[in-house]
Amino acid sequence: MTEMPYRTALVTGASSGLGRGLALWFGKRGVKVYAAARRHDNLEALAREARVTGADIEPVALDVSQAEPTLERIRALDDACGGLDLVVANAGVGGQTDARHFPWEHAKRIIDVNVTGAVATLSAVLPRMVERNRGHLVGVSSLASCRGLPQNAAYSASKAFLNTFLESLRVDLQGTRVRVTCIKPGFVKTEMTAGIRHVMPFLLESEPAVELMGRAISRGAAEYGFPWPMDRAVGLTKLVPNFLFDAVASRVL
């Protein structure tokens, strides 16, 4: 097992799915993990499971949609552990936002969590990482960020924001030892995708998806999209003219 370049890590959205998997993945490799989410009972169960394997995972009750409390809580964790080495902004929500019947309340929730919550998580101790000249910021985006997907205006846009935000951070941090990684999963079998009824190409089970993500983060990849056939296909859609993309995409769902 490769030695981890981190002593401590914070993973948000860790009560289920990819966040839960990442918390265990890093915990089993000797990293002290602060697993954060709203569902504290799920986090307690995760911590108990981790102890059986010798992993050190500490539950942290956190709702990233509340930006100010999120900033304060993460800074307090940073103080308590002597500096977070890795911060993974994984917490996210999805769901349809059809323009014909646009659900403002749900769109706001997506933006509060996927945009405001992610920025609060990633920026909370960024100045301290720069001062320490070490650290790693990771944002979990999505291949759905490639273009405006049908009935997903809020979700696709929220992840496109995260892509650009992380890229700008990466550029600004050139010349420092603070790294930035943007992870773009395709379809993975989790709670978030459980309600999707349309075809999900190259659908991955959670465990292999977590393995791919963990390895990409550990090697400090700037960007990593997976599975690779879906990543390549999505990249090609950027070359499709708008009139053709609109005609095809509007018939997908």
* Active centre residues (catalytic): 155
- Asked whether the beta carbons of 186 and 237 are under 8 A apart, the reply is no
Tokens 């019947």 belong to residue: 101
Contact, 182 vs 145, CB < 8 A?
no
d(CA 51, CA 57): 8
**Residue bearing tokens 């924001």:** 161
Alpha helices in 65-136, H assignment, sequence order: 67-81, 104-111, 118-123, 126-132
- Residue found by looking up tokens 């993990």 in the block: 33
- Asked whether the CA dihedral 28, 39, 169, 222 is positive or negative, the reply is positive
